[in-house]
């Protein structure tokens, strides 16, 4: 359950893999068991898992129109955690060559050689299998299939194809991070409908502003490893313009849930207020970016953190609406 062109390529990744594995072996012996455990946890990107689960569990409340069975929630959370951890670990394995060169990622387990490449690969695959079994047997097989599809898209399409080849990498690659909304719904209903599709679309349009703000902060890192994120190939004012456009579509999409799902009063009020807050932040950043390329002035991390707050509170509103207005 998860969230480009130039090929610093498969051959380079393969060449560095053997030497990296040898270095990893010796370093692993030197590391304490606590370091190794922390490294394996780090491979799963816990902060990403938190965000993905935050778009899963509230949808379960909305689908149930109340509080879903706690056992079902626990199984979905466990399966979702394993699935997201699998995708993140496999992403770390493939991207280990560029992770070593980027300030933001060089402290990950594989660049530090605390875990071997082979061990990380096995770990990621095992997590994926366990996720499928947990979701399949304890939730339902539709949810399991959606989780497998999300992982396959994230690893095979985004990580291995789009990320190093196109400025649209995160736009289409971000589809993988939208699947938790579908999985939360199918966990309760064992069927799909337009309601989770709208929430899927909200996350889809949220992902570019969220990621481009972070990429703007680390654009030199991405440029150094030839990953053509939009902030690498376009000036900050164009990045700001694109962020504003996606933000407006995101907010409009979020309000569609009101008529389509016949929500109570709480959700549209919350979505409207949160949307206004996010649009204000997006326009502010765009205005700052029009006059300078200086990151200290543009302050893209403010929008990045605001985007996390927006999505978190929006999905909390999704969960609370049936509880407050039924």
- Domain borders along the chain are 1-187, 193-326
Can you point out the beta strands (E) in 147-195?
none
Contacts of 38 by beta carbon, 8 Å cutoff, 6+ apart? none
* Whole-number pLDDT of residue 30: 62
User: What predicted TM-score, i.e. pTM, was given to this entire model?
Assistant: 0.88
* Whole-number pLDDT of residue 35: 86
Q: At what angle do helices 179-189 and 57-64 cross, to 10 degrees?
A: 40
Taking the C-alpha atoms of 37, 151, 144 and 80 in order, what is their torsion angle to the nearest 10 degrees? 40
Tell me which residue has tokens 């530090």: 112
CA distance linking residue 11 with residue 13, whole number of Å = 5
CA distance linking residue 128 with residue 133, whole number of Å = 9
The answer to whether 215 touches 231, Cβ cutoff 8 Å, is yes
CA distance linking residue 231 with residue 96, whole number of Å = 22
* CATH 1.10.357 is held by the domain 1-187: yes
Burial of residue 279 (CB within 10 Å: 0-12, 13-18, 19+) is: middle
| Tens-binned pLDDT, residue by residue, of the chain (326 aa) | 543 333 333 333 333 334 343 444 444 446 788 889 999 999 999 988 888 899 999 999 999 999 999 999 999 999 999 999 999 999 999 999 999 998 888 889 899 999 999 999 999 999 999 999 999 999 999 999 999 999 999 999 999 999 999 999 999 999 999 999 999 999 999 999 999 999 999 999 999 999 999 999 999 999 999 999 999 999 999 999 999 999 999 999 999 999 999 999 999 999 999 999 999 999 999 999 999 999 999 999 999 999 999 999 999 999 999 999 86
Total residue length of the chain: 326
CA distance linking residue 9 with residue 165, whole number of Å = 11
CA distance linking residue 209 with residue 309, whole number of Å = 13
* Whole-number pLDDT of residue 31: 74
């Amino acid at each position: 359950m998860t969230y480009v062109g130039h090929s610093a390529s498969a051959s380079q990744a393969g060449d560095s893999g053997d030497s990296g594995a040898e270095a990893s072996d010796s370093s692993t012996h030197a590391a304490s068991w606590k370091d190794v455990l922390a490294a394996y946890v780090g491979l799963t990107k816990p902060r990403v898992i938190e965000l993905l689960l935050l778009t899963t569990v509230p949808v379960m409340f909305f689908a149930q129109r109340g509080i879903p069975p706690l056992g079902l929630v626990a199984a979905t959370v466990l399966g979702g955690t394993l699935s997201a951890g699998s995708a993140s670990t496999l992403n770390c394995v493939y991207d280990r060559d560029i992770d070593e060169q980027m300030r933001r990622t060089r402290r990950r387990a594989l660049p530090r050689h605390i875990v071997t490449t082979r061990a990380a690969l096995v770990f990621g695959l095992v997590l994926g299998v366990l996720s499928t079994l947990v979701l399949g047997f304890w939730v339902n097989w539709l949810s399991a299939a959606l989780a497998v599809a999300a992982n396959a898209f994230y690893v095979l399409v985004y990580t291995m194809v789009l990320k190093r080849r196109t400025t649209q990498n995160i736009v289409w690659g971000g589809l993988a991070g939208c699947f938790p909304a579908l999985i939360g719904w199918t966990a309760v209903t064992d069927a799909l409908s337009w309601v989770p599709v709208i929430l899927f679309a909200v996350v889809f349009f949220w992902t570019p502003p969220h990621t481009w703000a972070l990429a703007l902060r680390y654009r030199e890192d991405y440029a150094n490893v030839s990953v053509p994120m939009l902030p690498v190939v376009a000036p900050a004012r164009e990045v700001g313009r694109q962020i504003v456009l996606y933000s407006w579509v995101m907010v409009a999409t979020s309000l569609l849930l009101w008529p389509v799902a016949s929500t109570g009063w709480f959700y549209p009020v919350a979505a409207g207020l949160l949307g206004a807050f996010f649009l204000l932040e997006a326009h502010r950043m765009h205005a700052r970016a029009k006059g300078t390329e200086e990151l200290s002035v543009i302050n893209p991390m403010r929008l990045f953190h605001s985007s996390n707050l927006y999505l978190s509170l929006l999905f909390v509103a999704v969960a609370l609406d049936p509880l407050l207005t039924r």
